[in-house]
Structures are given as structure tokens and as C-alpha cells.
Homo-oligomer: A and B are copies of this chain.
Amino acid sequence: MRLITAVIKPFKLDDVKAALEAHGVTGMTVGEASGYGRQRGHTEVYRGAEYQVDLVPKIRLEVLTEEDDADEVIEVIVKAARTGKIGDGKVWSVPVDTAVRVRTGERGPEAL
């Protein structure tokens, strides 16, 4: 299993969510964040307003997937989150040892 984390533009969350659901992803976790990339937050346009600050508001989302589906899920997120402008986001994945569904105690891919 893999944990895929994506930091995206907030107004893109609905598109990313819809694309993940269409792909058949079975769950996700979302949180608020802020950050900067190569441009250090400068000249980044957020909802039409230019922010001269260095921490730009972002959405951080996490998707737990099976190993074999991880690359496709990354592609789905990247495609749905892209506008072509700077600050579109960053996606990364890390290896997962164990996953558990709390209600049933199921483990591993069964828990997804």
C-alpha cells in the first residue's frame, strides 16, 4: 500500500475529488495548509488576488491506495489539479506498512 499526499490549489479540490471518485478511489482525508514552492509564494495568483506573502493557502489531501493503483491515482490527481500556472501543487507518495479499518479491524488492502 501507498499513502499519496497532494498539496493543491483550494479551488481545485472539487475537481480533484470528482476525478478520484470517478477513478474508484474509496476514501480520502483533507486538511487546510499553506506553503510555498520554487517562487517562495511570490507572484502566485490565488482566486484572482495576487498575494505578496510567502505562505499561500493550499489544501492538503491524503489517499491511501493499493500499491498497484498508486501511479494511476497520482496521475488522476495531477491531471485534475493542473491549471498550467505556477503554484499548481506537489504530490508525493510514501510506503505504508499497515492499514486498518477501525470498525471491523480489517487489515491491509481489505481495509481500504
Q: Using CB atoms and an 8 Å cutoff, list the residues of chain A in contact with chain B.
A: 1-3, 6-8, 17, 21, 26-38, 40, 54-55, 58, 60, 64, 70-71, 74, 77-78, 81-103, 105, 111
Contacts and interface: CB of A to CB of B under 8 A. Distances in A.
Contacts of A60: 29, 31
Nearest to A38: B26
B102 A81 contact: yes
Nearest to A55: B30
Nearest to A8: B102
Contacts of A21: 40
The listed residue with most B CB atoms (<10 A of its CB), out of A6, A29, A74, A78, is A29
A103 B82 contact: yes
B17 A54 contact: yes
A102 B64 CA distance: 19
Contact of A27 (B83, B88, B90): B90
A88 B74 contact: no
